[in-house]
Structure 1
Amino acid sequence: MTLDLVVMTSDHDSLDSIVDIAQRAENHGFARVSAGETTGRDMVTTFTVVAERTDSIGVSTDVLSPFGRAPTVLAQTALTMHEATGGRFRLGLGTSSPAIAERWHGAEFDRPLRRLRETIDIIREVYEGGRVSYDGEIFELGGLGYEGTPPETPPGIDVAALGPKATELAGRFADGWVPQLFTHDGLRTRMEDLERGAELGDRTLEDVRVAPLVRCCALEERETARAKTRSMVAFLIGAYGPFYGNSVAEQGYEDVVDEIRAAWEDDCDTEAMAAALPDSLLDSLAAAGTPEEVRDRVEAFQAIDGVDAVRVGFVKGMTDEEKESTLAALSGL
């Protein structure tokens, strides 16, 4: 079992600072490091720098939008990153969101699952070498080929997905699935969709790297850790677009999600949002408290059948010392 680290780049005022946390994760035995791309730093450049200044830790992109880069460009990027990192790169993709697609990339958020499916198809064609020829519902291209020799084992493609159809797509076409904000039972239920997709692709779950993201904060000051994590999880559920909240509601917490969203819609009341998140749900979705408690909760996620790695995510407002405390608590798992 391995641990990955997801870095919150908004916490860092320089690339040097991001490199520092990646180096510390490597020293603590973490297998991979990644960070989300929205409207801040470009994660390809960022993790080229990270890879150059680390020795063995894998690097991934979380997650590149198929509305922001052409599929062929994504394939070129993945193959170049494979070369630049000595084979340590995995390409993270997702359907993105209406806000990012429309208000940042200037694209219509139309048929996101179909676009993601065709993007993966085209990347695979580039990986195979030769001329690319694709006649899809979204993309139609051909006549040119990749100017180079793709590696025998090209970079894996990970898909961030929450819903049943997107998860089935990940199981059928991708090399990895990276869910977030799932309870143990919710993750097991969604794993059935992943397995169905794998079967449709003539594969098994062993062909898909399952790595759920778990928000973690491990401090001796237990209530400080829990307050920071509660605030972050409540914000993701109630204010960070519709998808996380919808997913948590579908896992049996519709009333909680409604109360958290109401607090946000009424007056952007983040304190009321956090207060509406019960301890039981916080502990089902995240790992917050003393180092021992956090370690136990991460181990519980590791023990779920089919999980290959747990992706440790920090929470907003953590100091550098608190991040180091969390890394140290999980070192060696």
Structure 2
Amino acid sequence: MADDLRLGLNLGYWQRNADDATELVQTAERLGYESVWTAEAYGSDAFTPLAWYGARTSRIKLGTSVAQLSARPPVTTAMTAMTLDHLTGGRLLLGVGASGPQVVEGWYGQPFPRPLARTREYVEIMRKVWRREEPVTAPGPHYPLPFPGGLGKPLKLITHPLRNDIPVYLGAEGPKNVTLATEVAQGWLPLFVFPEKIEAMYGEALAGAAPGFDVAAMVNVIVTDDVRAAIDGVKMMLTLYIGGMGAKARNFHADIVGRMGYAEAAERIQALYLAGRRDEAFDAIPDELADGISLVGPIGRIRERLELWRKSPVTNLLVMGPRDEPTLRDIRDLVLG
């Protein structure tokens, strides 16, 4: 239970030249938001927009939610993180995640074996890079250093990091991945959180978390008098994630919705979406699911529902959706008091 929720702004993917959120990020910084986060899938990368906003701010922390493991070898991510952290005065929060087989195999042309073991190995190598205690070696099997049988030798990072303990967050949806986050990271970035259900779903996985472990939940926030339209907006997002953001045989987003108690609905949504019947897939999403994982409606309704989040293991709300100063201020006042 988090008596004092922290507050961040999640911008998601950068899409086009007109999508420059500099003014919004500066406003969030001025209003006391702790962090701003950017994402990547198979469009824009997470680091470049974050560097852009970091150059135009001075205090707000800068997070990736998440940088995909298969997009870069672990030493490349470590170098990028070290550089951005240095240039922004130690403000980086490095969220990483394994993604899913649809993206890893379809976009990066790589296999998707043993995501937990790969993630653990990846994080261990990054920490070795930042510590600079000795030339970096790793036995593998996923990221052996140096490459076995070749001419390479162990190397050590040339540049001294500003911080050798850059905070790492894991994007994770399965209980085993969440347990891994408590073991190797400073925080967990859940995409879908139903606050009344998170304890039952992940309480055991979070039991070993160290004090200060950050459960930084991404949540859609829509301030409006039209609750129906707001719920429909969340359902539109869920239609894509449950229906199409994953392979038919392995869709982690559909799996998590199933663990929330909507397994039959998730199966039907995915089948309809993949059959091209997207309107029907939208209609198949339960309103209570869309409402449960978001904060939508008039300020009074959001204030009431916010108490559910305060009573949950969530420690940090990364709000998605607000694009203007009045809304950012209203949310700030509700969350931070």
Q: Same fold (TM over 0.5)?
A: yes
Q: What pairs up with 1:73-88 in 2 under 5 angstroms? A: 73-88=76-91
Q: How many residues align?
A: 318
C-alpha offsets along residues 187-217 of structure 1, whole Å, 9 cap, x if unaligned?
Answer: 2134334335x3xxxxx43242111111221
- Map of 2:254 onto structure 1: 245
Residue 140 (structure 1) aligned with residue 144 (structure 2): yes
Distance in 2, Cα, partners of 1:327 & 1:300: 20
Q: 1:214 to 1:118 in 2, by over 3 A?
A: same
Partner SS state of residue 211, structure 2: helix
2:189 to 175, 178, 188: 178
Tell me, yes or no, if the aligned pair for 1:12 and 1:18 is still in contact at 8 Å.
Answer: no
Distance in 1, Cα, partners of 2:233 & 2:70: 33
- Map of 1:228 onto structure 2: 233
- Map of 2:48 onto structure 1: 45
Partner SS state of residue 42, structure 2: coil
- Map of 2:109 onto structure 1: 106
Distance in 2, Cα, partners of 1:274 & 1:210: 29
TM-score for the superposition, normalised by structure 2: 0.87
TM-score for the superposition, normalised by structure 1: 0.88
Cα distance, 1:105 vs structure 2: 1.6
Cα distance, 1:102 vs structure 2: 1.8
Q: 1:325 to 1:249 in 2, by over 3 A?
A: farther
- Which amino acid counterpart does residue 293 of structure 2 have in structure 1? L
Partner SS state of residue 67, structure 2: coil
2:9 to 2, 5, 16: 5
- Which amino acid counterpart does residue 240 of structure 2 have in structure 1? F
Cα distance, 1:268 vs structure 2: 3.4
Cα distance, 1:282 vs structure 2: 1.9
Distance in 2, Cα, partners of 1:70 & 1:10: 23
C-alpha offsets along residues 245-304 of structure 1, whole Å, 9 cap, x if unaligned?
Answer: 1111022111221232232133232x3223222232222111222232234333421331
Cα distance, 1:72 vs structure 2: 0.9
Residue 96 (structure 1) aligned with residue 96 (structure 2): no
Distance in 2, Cα, partners of 1:229 & 1:255: 19
State, as a whole percentage, how many aligned pairs show the same letter: 27
Distance in 2, Cα, partners of 1:179 & 1:53: 28
Distance in 1, Cα, partners of 2:233 & 2:325: 16
C-alpha offsets along residues 290-329 of structure 1, whole Å, 9 cap, x if unaligned?
Answer: 232234333421331x322011122xxx8x5xx5554233
- Which amino acid counterpart does residue 11 of structure 2 have in structure 1? V
- Which amino acid counterpart does residue 169 of structure 1 have in structure 2? L
Tell me, yes or no, if the aligned pair for 1:295 and 1:329 is still in contact at 8 Å.
Answer: no
Q: What pairs up with 1:302-321 in 2 under 5 angstroms? A: 302-304=310-312, 306-314=313-321, 320=323
C-alpha offsets along residues 87-108 of structure 1, whole Å, 9 cap, x if unaligned?
Answer: 1101110011112212222211
Cα distance, 1:118 vs structure 2: 0.4
- Which amino acid counterpart does residue 248 of structure 1 have in structure 2? V
- Map of 2:282 onto structure 1: 274
Q: 1:194 to 1:77 in 2, by over 3 A?
A: farther
C-alpha offsets along residues 214-251 of structure 1, whole Å, 9 cap, x if unaligned?
Answer: 12211133332222122222332222221111111022
Distance in 2, Cα, partners of 1:26 & 1:303: 26
2:23 to 15, 20, 24: 20
Q: 1:161 to 1:225 in 2, by over 3 A?
A: same
Tell me, yes or no, if the aligned pair for 2:86 and 2:161 is still in contact at 8 Å.
Answer: no
Distance in 1, Cα, partners of 2:164 & 2:157: 16
Q: 1:195 to 1:137 in 2, by over 3 A?
A: same
Distance in 2, Cα, partners of 1:132 & 1:276: 51
- Which amino acid counterpart does residue 219 of structure 1 have in structure 2? T
Tell me, yes or no, if the aligned pair for 1:33 and 1:59 is still in contact at 8 Å.
Answer: yes
Tell me, yes or no, if the aligned pair for 1:292 and 1:329 is still in contact at 8 Å.
Answer: no
2:166 to 155, 168, 175: 155
Q: 1:258 to 1:215 in 2, by over 3 A?
A: same
Q: CA RMSD in A?
A: 2.1
Q: What pairs up with 1:29-44 in 2 under 5 angstroms? A: 29-44=32-47
- Map of 1:261 onto structure 2: 270
Q: 1:7 to 1:101 in 2, by over 3 A?
A: same
Tell me, yes or no, if the aligned pair for 1:160 and 1:178 is still in contact at 8 Å.
Answer: yes
Unaligned 5+ segments in structure 2 are 147-153
- Which amino acid counterpart does residue 107 of structure 2 have in structure 1? W
Partner SS state of residue 141, structure 2: coil
- Map of 2:149 onto structure 1: none
- Which amino acid counterpart does residue 312 of structure 1 have in structure 2? V
Unaligned 5+ segments in structure 1 are 199-203
